[in-house]
């Protein structure tokens, strides 16, 4: 039966069939046109300009007229990789993102699991709302809060530590403590928001499974471990793949807001490096080259993570 159906579907469409099909559904295709144009104009056509990475940029010439860069066009890639500040920025980008992933990825999952166990609805909703609020704050404001809390002389936390007889902790201006503060604040800002998708996945799990488990005498922890977690596993995998695809990327404003001169050896990342050398230093070819490198590395990570998850028997994202 199934076989016959698939054969039927494979049968080539005649011209008449096509005509009927188009006549019936043309509005849908017309609707599709708008997003297609959007992608072509704003996402695909700008890709042409990655050529700038291989050319000597000039403001008054068309991309096609600009002369090719030295070393078969790879001058700016070589220049970037010879620059130890770039290597340092690359290292920091990967490390900070990795720490973010390791420390930050499990938090919303755990939070969602805990929240799911709450029976008192009003309390659950309140906690959830309070937790995802920071997501809507800009990083500049968050830095302002962090400064008020963590500054060495007048920060609230340090004042408490001193009152208790402790030593001032340089949360924001010591390179190593800075990394912890940066990661911590990042988790605080995002875990509530990120848990929403897990909560949605949890609510999709059939209650019958829980009822059956209860009948079998499972306790709450066992239900969480054997039903809830496996139930949201596909969601976790998809989000993990997406997160891995971003391991070389870096948002600009979070790092930029938290940077200061005393922590630069750990705080300079690719995006701020590009801002400093490329935009402020007017080296457009160099910044394009670095941007291109970053995108390609991200795609490679994404494909690898996807391949790996399929190997492990998950569905992956493509």
Q: Give Dmax over CA atoms of the chain in angstroms.
A: 86
Q: What angle do CA 244, 249, 251 make, to 5 degrees?
A: 120
Least distance (Å) between residue 90 CB and another protein: 16
Q: CA-CA distance, 275 to 283, in Å (whole number)?
A: 10
Interface residue with another protein among 13, 20, 37, 98 (CB under 8 A) is: 37
Interface residue with another protein among 13, 20, 31, 41 (CB under 8 A) is: 41
Interface residue with another protein among 21, 25, 29, 123 (CB under 8 A) is: 29
Query: Using an 8 Å Cβ cutoff, are 59 and 282 in contact?
Result: no
Q: Which is nearer to another protein, 151 or 201 (CB)?
A: 151
Query: Using an 8 Å Cβ cutoff, are 210 and 223 in contact?
Result: yes
What is each CA distance from 83 to 71, 86, 92, 188, 277, in whole angstroms?
Answer: 17, 5, 14, 34, 11
Nearest to 110 by CA among 12, 277, 232, 212: 232
Q: Which is nearer to another protein, 118 or 137 (CB)?
A: 137
Q: Which is nearer to another protein, 3 or 280 (CB)?
A: 280
40 counts as binding another protein under rule CB under 8 A: yes
Stretch that binds another protein, among 94-102, 120-128, 234-242, 274-282 (CB under 8 A): 274-282
Least distance (Å) between residue 277 CB and another protein: 6
Q: What is the x/- site pattern for another protein, positions 231-270, by CB under 8 A?
A: -----------------------------xxx-x------
Site for another protein in 151-210 (CB under 8 A): 151-154, 172-173
Q: CA-CA distance, 65 to 290, in Å (whole number)?
A: 22
Least distance (Å) between residue 179 CB and another protein: 15
DSSP string, 100-143: HHHHHSHHHHHHHHHHHH---HHHHHHHHHHHHGGGGS-HHHHH
Interface residue with another protein among 45, 138, 176, 219 (CB under 8 A) is: 45
Site for another protein in 51-70 (CB under 8 A): 58-63
Interface residue with another protein among 23, 121, 280, 311 (CB under 8 A) is: 280
Tokens of 280: 């402020």
Beta bridge partners of 55: 68
Residues contributing to the site for another protein (CB under 8 A): 29, 33, 36-37, 40-41, 45-46, 49, 58-63, 83-85, 147, 151-154, 172-173, 260-262, 264, 276-277, 279-283, 286
């Amino acid at each position: 039966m199934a076989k016959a159906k698939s054969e039927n579907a494979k049968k080539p469409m005649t011209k008449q069939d096509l005509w009927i099909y188009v006549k019936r559904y043309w509005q849908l295709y017309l609707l599709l046109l708008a997003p297609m144009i959007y992608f072509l104009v704003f996402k695909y056509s700008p890709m042409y300009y990655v050529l700038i990475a291989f050319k000597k940029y000039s403001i008054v010439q068309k991309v096609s007229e600009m002369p090719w860069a030295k070393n078969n066009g790879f001058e700016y890639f070589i220049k970037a990789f010879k620059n130890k500040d770039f290597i340092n920025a690359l290292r920091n980008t990967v490390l900070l993102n990795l720490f973010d992933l390791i420390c930050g990825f499990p938090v919303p999952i755990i939070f969602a699991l805990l929240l799911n166990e709450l029976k008192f609805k009003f309390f659950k909703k309140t906690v959830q709302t309070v937790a995802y609020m920071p997501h809507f704050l800009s990083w500049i404001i968050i830095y302002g809060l962090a400064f008020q809390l963590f500054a060495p002389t007048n920060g609230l936390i340090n004042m408490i530590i001193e009152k208790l007889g402790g030593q001032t902790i340089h949360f924001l201006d010591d390179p190593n403590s800075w990394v912890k503060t940066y990661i911590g604040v990042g988790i605080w800002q995002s875990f509530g928001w990120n848990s929403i998708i897990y909560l949605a996945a949890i609510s999709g799990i059939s209650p019958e499974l829980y009822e059956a488990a209860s009948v079998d005498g499972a306790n709450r922890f066992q239900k969480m471990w054997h039903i809830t977690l496996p139930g949201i596993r596909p969601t976790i995998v998809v989000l993990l793949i997406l997160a891995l695809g971003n391991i070389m990327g870096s948002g600009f404003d979070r790092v930029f807001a938290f940077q200061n001169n005393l922590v630069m050896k750990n705080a300079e990342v690719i995006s701020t490096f590009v801002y400093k050398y490329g935009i402020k230093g007017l080296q457009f070819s160099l910044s394009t080259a670095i941007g291109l490198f970053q995108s390609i590395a991200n795609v490679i990570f994404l494909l690898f993570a996807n391949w790996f998850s399929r190997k492990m028997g998950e569905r992956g994202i493509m």
